Amino acid sequence: MTQPLLQFNDKGIYCAAGDFYIDPWRPVDRAVITHAHSDHAYWGHKHYLAHSLSREVLYYRLGEISLETLDYEQETLINGVKVSFYPAGHIIGSAQVRVEYKGEVWVASGDYKLEDDGLSTPFVPVKCHTFISECTFGMPIYKWQPQQKIYDDMNQWWKSNAAEGRTTFIAGYSLGKAQRILQGLDLSIGKVYLHGVIANTNEALERNGIHLPEAQRVTPELVRESARGGLVICPPSAVGSIWMRRFPAVSFGYCSGWMSIRGAKKRRAADRGFVLSDHADWEGLITAIKATECESVCLTHGSTASFSRYLREQGFDAYEANTQYGLEEEENNETILEEKG
Amino acid sequence: MKDFAKLFADLDETNKTNEKIRILKAYFMYVPDADKINTLALFTGRKPKRQINSTLVKTWAMELSKIPVWLFEESYQVVGDLGETIALLLPEPEGSQDKSLTEWIAEINNLASLKEEERKLWLVSSWAVMDRQERFVFNKILTGSFRVGVSQSLIVKALADISGLDASVLTHRIMGNWDPLHFSFHDLMQEQDASDDISRPYPFCLAYPIQETSTQVKSAEEMELALGNPEAWQAEWKWDGIRAQAIYRDKEIFIWSRGEDLVTDKFPELHRFMMDLPDGTVLDGEAICFSGECPLPFNVLQTRIGRKNLTKKILTESPMAFIAYDCLEYQGDDIRSMPLKYRRSILEKLHAESPHQDIFRLSAIVGFSNWKDLYALRLQSRENVAEGFMLKRIESVYQTGRKRGDWWKWKVDPLSVDAVMIYAQKGHGRRADLYSDYTFAVWDGDKLVPFAKAYSGLTDKEMSQVDQYVKRNTLEKFGPVRTVKPGLVFEIGFEGINQSSRHKSGVSLRFPRILRWRHDKKIEDADHIEVLRALLG
């Protein structure tokens, strides 16, 4: 029996025919990267291939790496295996990796969502024989509302905080979520400030030609009192820090798909939880998988056990793979929101 | 219902006490009086009777959500709350509703006269017009699992601010037997108490703990510093029974537990002594099992609490007495504002006149002249079948609720063993989707035998670390329970231990909880079953 086109080993998703890895978590010679989040783009590979819109963020996060980039639907050959990127809609520059060899097509999704967030290139289903999919939110309890609804709630909350002289904080992962929050804010309410990590990320994206709304970086010189009525976007790791406590009358909200469950929200002791996710919800996952018209689905991370069982009961050939994706968020509570939400 | 659902959501979204009071006040000023009293009833645990059992609610929700039973169950495991799981899984609403909370509660009460198919039709069409938050709150009310993260004192504070009535007066008025159908908001807010409820208890005066855990033992010197002159204090043993208020008014008796349950029928042994009290007497004390002159451990009482029928056997094996420690009403007068020493003299008089000395017992005053002596005596609590001491300021009034300063409980340090975590399960509420409920084991030879379950005692951070350990070290899954590779050692504290044929280990513990995570110990260092057996005495 010939070996499968893509297989899972202790380093990542391996293509033997092309001798390359997709999103490897241990150092390899040749890595194809779906997107720049840290559980997919690790440091230490000899050579990287990623989407062109990931370029500057990868340099910012990983330093001087050997990087080659492709645009969406542009094809390259690696040892005779055809490799191309298709939009995954997860964050700016996120891609599904299409791999074709001797007429067989596999697609590795990385992380994805179906809703057009207005920033990342919208998800495109790619026909394939085997679809390697994430299922972070692969339970029927996860159903997202349109992002505009969430933005409206967010702005309304900011407005009432501003009226009471509070400083509003919204926590969301620095790459992806932070830009979505920034985009959704009604800038007529007040001034927007960015945590340094987010400001750096935005600058990297701007070097990549992405245009983002204007916001002020929080520097040590900033008079904190002047931020009253304003809104600060920060990464979840900054919540509760001395950095945050130096601002006056703080009210803070978390932005994550996990916020759809009351217990998770309470645990974070946030004043508000906004259910805004960069991952597909239950319906989204099913729609995406059906659209690939695939014969097999392989689930890499998230609710893999329940979701694969459900898919099998629906007649799919679905199975779980053991990967390190989404694992980093288990390291501590903070990073849960950093990666997944 | 929209207002009520919003109230619930708003309260959920803040952790600040003042903000919660502000939200409650805004709500109470806005909604009609009928909704006010219904809200108060719900917030003080007076739920409408459950008319549809949760199994049926679940079954019908599953039909509507069109997912297999196992997936529903797994979703429930993640969410950790049935009402919320259903609210998340139901299909999108087809319309909206604007019935008031009072109208919905009336509909729920009316279900009693409907057939099962009619109830189903009602429930399905009700869900169809509610949004997610409304469904969640509605499900909680419907399934009788309504609980709110707001203490009764906050609601009372909000109402007191609005009405100008004193908070302790309101606290008293909302005690006891009332339901929103027969007690109106107007009745509650009268200048003069409008209630003719002779059963109504007084709010219990509650004590603050001197120390929370074994790691913060207070020395005699610290006690001296904190409480000052011993002569200002009255010490009594802290009894391990059920806190109860015994009421005799208009030739009727009522016994209330601390949780505001009417438990008169559970303690027939106490009826005679109460009937022989002077009319208009209310006593605060402990309902407790006694044998001869000796109180029995709590587990003896526990065996009879849950029983519907008190058989002759139970009455013989676990005879009750009442240890009185305070008198709140005498000759029909509320004497709570009199100093403790006065109330005590009344209590002693009532006791001396009672022909039922074997049932009506006085909580003896433990004499001490300095804190060192009391500290030493406290170490003998277990021999005295007590949990430690109660310390009461002699000049103090009988406070409403938990107030710092006049009443302290100084409990004996818990018993403890070092144990290994071997099973884990996801929790509920704020511990939802976290492996936070654990089973612990001690060594029996070279095997680990489970002996206790516990969940409280860890910080959020520790809980999430243990959660990760569980996820990475799962050996087997049995439904929601995971067998975990033994690796983590915890110090488990408990109040008492008894022989048990129902448990593998042969023992059952009273109030087991995690005292701390012993990072410094390997599983080989955990205790052996012999240590527990030795504690059985």
pLDDT in tens, A124-139: 999 999 999 999 999 9
Query: What is the least distance, in Å, from the CA of B274 to any CA of chain A?
Result: 46
For residue B84, list chain A residues with Cβ-Cβ distance below 8 A: 261-262
Q: Which of B15, B79, B148 to mutate to test the interface with A (most CBs of A within 10 A)?
A: B79
- Report the pLDDT value the prediction gives residue B47, as an integer from 0 to 100: 86
Contact state of B65 with A141 under an 8 Å Cβ cutoff: no
Question: Counting runs of H as helices and runs of E as strands, what totals does chain B give?
Answer: 20, 23
| Section B226-252 average pLDDT | 94
Average pLDDT of B443-459?
A: 89
Q: How far apart are the first and last CA of chain B?
A: 56
Residue B457 phi, psi (nearest 5): 120, -15
Q: Measured between beta carbons, which residues in chain B are less than 8 angstroms from residue A263?
A: 79-81, 427-434
What pLDDT shows up at residue A322? 83
The amino acid that residue A219 corresponds to is T
- Measured in angstroms, the CA of A187 and the nearest CA of chain B are apart by 24
pLDDT at B212: 62
Q: Which residues of A touch B136 (CB under 8 A)?
A: 262
Nearest chain B Cα to A309, which residue? B71
Of A264, A269, A332, the CB nearest to B15: A269
Contact at CB, B428 and A330, closer than 8 angstroms: no
Top-confidence residue, A32 or B509: A32
Per-residue pLDDT tens over the stretch B88-105? 999 999 999 999 999 999
CB A340 within 8 A of CB A177: no
**What is the CA angle A331-A337-A339, rounded to 5?**
75
DSSP-assigned states of every residue in B157-186: HHHHHHH---HHHHHHHTSSS--TTTS-HH
In the prediction, which pLDDT does A328 show? 45
What is the SS3 assignment for B377?
helix
Which residue of B65, B81, B434 is in closest CB contact with A140?
B65
Residues in A closer than 8 angstroms to B18, CB to CB, are none
Q: Confirm if A140 and A118 have CB atoms less than 8 A apart.
A: no
Q: Where are the alpha helices (DSSP H) in B94-219?
A: 101-110, 116-127, 132-142, 152-163, 167-173, 185-189
Which of B81, B428, B460 lies closest to A267 in CB terms?
A: B460
What value does the mean pLDDT take over residues B467-471? Answer: 89
Higher pLDDT, B145 or B172: B172
Whether the predicted pLDDT of B196 surpasses 60: yes
Chain A residues closer than 8 Å to B64 by CB: none
* DSSP-derived secondary structure letter, B379: T
Pick the residue from chain A with its C-alpha nearest to B70. Answer: A306
Give B248's DSSP letter.
E
Is B431 in Cβ contact with A267 (below 8 Å)? yes
CATH number among 1.10.1060, 3.30.420, 3.40.50, 3.10.590, domain A147-274:
3.40.50
- Global pTM value: 0.80
Q: Which positions in chain A touch B81 (Cβ < 8 Å)? A: 262-263
Taking alpha carbons only, the member of B337, B330, B320, B335 closest to residue B353 is: B330
Q: What is the pLDDT of residues B204-234, one digit of tens each?
A: 999 998 876 555 678 888 888 889 999 999 9
Q: Which fold has domain A7-141+278-328?
A: Metallo-beta-lactamase; Chain A (3.60.15)
Distance CA A14, CA A29 (A): 12
**Lowest mean pLDDT, pick from A77-91, B105-119, B396-410, B423-437:** B423-437
Q: What is the distance in angstroms between the Cα of A186 and the nearest Cα belonging to chain B?
A: 22
* ipTM of the modeled complex: 0.90
Handedness of CA A328, A331, A335, A341 (dihedral sign): positive
The tokens for A77 are: 């050959």
pLDDT of residue A336: 33
CB nearest to A330's CB, from B12, B75, B468 = B468
At A333 the pLDDT is 33
Question: Which residues of chain B neighbour A145 with C-beta distances below 8 Å?
Answer: none
Nearest to A262 among B70, B81, B471 (CB): B81
Chain A contacts to B (CB-CB under 8 A): 139-141, 143, 260-267, 269, 271-273, 306, 309-310, 313, 330-333
| Residue A55 main-chain phi, psi, to 5 deg | -50, -60
Least confident of B24-38, B186-200, B350-364: B186-200
Nearest CA of chain B to the CA of A248: how many Å? 16
**Among A130, A128, A136, CA closest to A112:** A136
> Do A80 and A86 meet the contact criterion of CB atoms below 8 Å apart?
no
- Position of tokens 């009442």? B322
Domains and CATH numbers, chain B: 205-411 (3.30.470.30), 415-535 (2.40.50.140)
In B299-358, DSSP assigns E strands to 320-330, 333-334
Contacts with B14 from chain A: Cβ below 8 Å = 271
Determine, for residues A260 and B88 on separate chains, whether the beta-carbon distance falls below 8 Å: yes
Nearest chain A alpha carbon to B92: A143
Residues of A in contact with B431 (CB under 8 A): 263, 267
Q: Measured between beta carbons, which residues in chain B are less than 8 angstroms from residue A272?
A: 13
Q: Which of B70, B71, B430 sits opposite A266 (nearest CB)?
A: B430
CA separation for the pair B239, B322 (Å, rounded):
11
pLDDT at A180 over 70: yes
* Separation of alpha carbons B342 and B228, rounded Å: 22
Q: Which whole-number Å values give the CA distances from B482 to B326, B489, B497, in the listed order?
A: 49, 17, 26
Q: Quote the minimal CA–CA distance from B435 to chain A in Å.
A: 12
Comparing alpha-carbon positions, the chain A residue that sits nearest to B469 is A330
Task: Classify residue B263 by burial, with Cβ atoms within 10 Å: 0-12, 13-18, 19+.
Answer: middle
pLDDT > 90? residue B415: no
> Is residue A62 over pLDDT 50?
yes
Count of C-beta atoms within a 10 Å radius of residue A308:
22
- Nearest chain B CA: its distance from A313 CA (Å): 9
Give the minimum alpha-carbon distance from A189 to chain B in angstroms, rounded to a whole number. 21
Task: Answer whether residue B457 shows pLDDT above 50.
Answer: yes
Name the least confident of A274-283, B124-133, B220-229.
B220-229
Under an 8 A CB cutoff, do A263 and B461 touch?
no
Model confidence at B527: pLDDT above 90: yes
The domains of chain A are located at 7-141+278-328, 147-274
Q: How far apart are CA A143 and CA A255, in angstroms?
A: 15
* Residue B178 pLDDT: 86
B221 interfaces chain A, CB cutoff of 8 Å: no
